[in-house]
Amino acid sequence: MIRHIVFACTAAVVMTAGANAQGIPDGAAHGARVGEHDAGPVGAVVGGVVGGVIGGVNGILGIDDRPRFHSYVVDHHYPSYEYSGELRIGAVLPGGVTYYEVPPEYSSAREYQYSIVNGHTVLVDRRTHTIVQIVD
């Protein structure tokens, strides 16, 4: 049964990949975390695939919210943290990074914080400091 679910979800990820490439890794990472928490390793696999499908449509910040959120951050003129590692989804930021609360009007991202790293706005898991979305 799980094999059928994984196959169906994988096919859906392939079909939606062209729609929004950044959303798929975001959704997959989030789905894997939630699935692993709720159902262990098998849950991580299934959750990652399903999360990739859902994330492929919008990502954490929806398509319409990204430009407004980016403008919000730019208007606040927060300093950028210089990170020597590769800036990518899944990277864990070191100590010393300043994090900011996501404004209430972006309810889809309220469980995250954001920061400015190497001149890019990133959404970060507030517990693990893992980058979950790069907002440009």
Tokens found for residue 54: 């859902």
- Give the residues of the chain that fall short of pLDDT 70: 1-28, 30, 43-58
pLDDT score recorded for residue 85: 93
> pTM value?
0.59
Give the HSE-up count for residue 37: Cα atoms under 13 Å, Cβ half-sphere: 6
The answer to whether the beta carbons of residues 134 and 87 sit under 8 Å apart is: yes
Count the Cβ atoms, other than its own, within 10 Å of residue 67.
12
